[in-house]
Amino acid sequence: MADQNRKAITYLRSEKAREATFTVWPFSSRQPCSIKKMAEAGFVFTGSYKDPDSVQCCFCTKQLNNWEANDEPWSEHLKHSPQCQFALMQKPQDLWTVGELIKVIEEYCCNEVNRKYEELEAEAKEHYEKMREMIRS
């Protein structure tokens, strides 16, 4: 889990790290949804040779596929995930201020803590219900 979090933070911080995940991609560097533009818009590659255009946002974890050559990664990202802090930036990461980068990483960490809390709470409720059933029978 710690390794997974570290990887996620690396992808949040580095466009180059996101770009390096694209082992295959059906579009050229001259097309609007080139690897560089996909990485710039926050996406990491999650597909395979059989599924060559699946990506996931490193911030909101939204998964997208069925890209078309003229799709614009930033606008597609915002269209499918309008609350995503990364997509809301609408500009390459090297134009972000340090404050903006910190804000995005902070929000990511808060979301992860909340997600983990909800997961543990649901697990605790499930155990509680099982214990109640055991006591009743």
Examine residue 81 and tell whether it contacts Zn ion (CB under 5 A): yes
CB of 41 to Zn ion, least distance (A): 9
Q: Does residue 56 touch Zn ion according to CB under 5 A? A: no
Q: Does 60 bind Zn ion (CB under 5 A)?
A: yes
Q: Is 59 in the site for Zn ion (CB under 5 A)?
A: yes
The two three-digit tokens of residue 123, written as one number: 């697990």
Q: Does 38 bind Zn ion (CB under 5 A)?
A: no
Does 84 contact Zn ion by CB under 5 A? yes
Burial class (CB in 10 A: 0-12, 13-18, 19+), 97: exposed
Binders of Zn ion: how many residues, by CB under 5 A?
7
Binding segment toward Zn ion, per CB under 5 A, in 2-10, 14-22, 50-58, 97-105: 50-58
39 membership: H or E segment, kind and range: helix 35-40
Name the segment binding Zn ion (CB under 5 A); options: 1-9, 28-36, 85-93, 116-124. Answer: 85-93
- What's the CA gap between 67 and 55, in Å, rounded? 10
Starting at the edge strand found earlier in the chain, the sheet holding 55-57 runs: 43-45, 55-57, 63-64
137-to-120, 127, 129, 131, 134 alpha-carbon distances in Å: 26, 16, 12, 10, 5
- Applying CB under 5 A, the residues found at the interface with Zn ion are 57, 59-60, 81, 84, 86-87
